[in-house]
A and B are shown apart, each in its own frame.
Chain A
Amino acid sequence: GAVVSQHPSWVICKSGTSVKIECRSLDFQATTMFWYRQFPKQSLMLMATSNEGSKATYEQGVEKDKFLINHASLTLSTLTVTSAHPEDSSFYICSAIQGSAEAFFGQGTRLTVV
């Protein structure tokens, strides 16, 4: 299957700082990328959908000013958690699709805000 690379795998940051997470489709052009948040032993919660060259569509309840998403090319989307606080600590996962094919997932990023 296709490969989606997500970096970093884990990050620890101080409260009030910003953290950027990258999601790259390595061997295909992703028309759409998705960002999820996952709490321990729970399902994936969709945060936003991003299409290359256009603004991301955020799910209800997700603060777009806190979770900045940029999809500048067909192979790269970034999620920036701005002014991070301990409650933003979580596991973040991206996925990418090409056309109507199935989604492929990055390996996830564990964010810890101290």
Chain B
Amino acid sequence: AQTVTQSQPEMSVQEAETVTLSCTYDTSESNYYLFWYKQPPSRQMILVIRQEAYKQQNATENRFSVNFQKAAKSFSLKISDSQLGDTAMYFCAFRSGSARQLTFGSGTQLTVLP
């Protein structure tokens, strides 16, 4: 079974600064996908970024980028130029290539301070 670990329950960052959220996972599969989802106070789950395991290049989406270290089974999220609207719970998630369900980490509550 796959597991996803987020070791930072809470983090804070000053507006305009950069913050990195950590995520590690455990799997024996070679084909899988990794995701970061954001859940703001509205509680709507929003996809931030996705990474296919077979791709060596780290995914980027505007101010959001990942550091995917496959050998170390690490998948961290970097948020640059943090904005107040980035305040949310962030979940790291894993999906194997052979399954459709997501396995979520426990989440990191990020607060962007003005």
Q: Which residues of A contact B (CB under 8 A)?
A: 1, 32, 34, 38, 41-44, 46, 49, 91, 93, 95, 97, 100, 102-105, 107-108
Q: Complex: how many Å from CA A44 to CA B35? A: 14
A residues within 8 A CB of B28?
Answer: none
* A100 and B106 form a contact (CB under 8 A): no
Q: Which residues of B contact A (CB under 8 A)?
A: 33, 35, 37, 42-47, 50, 89, 91, 97, 100-102, 104-107, 109
Q: How many A-B residue pairs have CB under 8 A?
A: 47
B residues within 8 A CB of A34?
Answer: 100-102
Q: Complex: how many Å from CA A82 to CA B46? A: 29
* B47 and A32 form a contact (CB under 8 A): no
* A49 and B100 form a contact (CB under 8 A): yes
Question: Could you jot down 21 A-B contacts, CB within 8 Å?
Answer: A1-B47, A32-B100, A34-B100, A38-B43, A42-B107, A43-B91, A43-B105, A44-B45, A44-B91, A44-B104, A49-B101, A93-B43, A97-B100, A100-B97, A100-B100, A102-B35, A102-B50, A105-B37, A107-B43, A107-B44, A108-B45
* A42 and B106 form a contact (CB under 8 A): yes
Q: In angstroms, how far is the closest chain B Cβ from the Cβ of A99?
A: 9
A residues within 8 A CB of B106?
Answer: 42-43
* B45 and A93 form a contact (CB under 8 A): yes
Q: Complex: how many Å from CA A93 to CA B42? A: 12
Q: In angstroms, how far is the closest chain B Cβ from the Cβ of A111?
A: 13
Q: Complex: how many Å from CA A34 to CA B50? A: 19
Interface core residue of A32, A49, A102 (most chain B CB under 10 Å): A102
Residue in chain A with minimal CB distance to B103: A46
Q: A32-B100, A43-B91, A100-B100 are in contact. Are A105 and B45 (CB under 8 A)?
A: yes
Residue in chain A with minimal CB distance to B47: A102
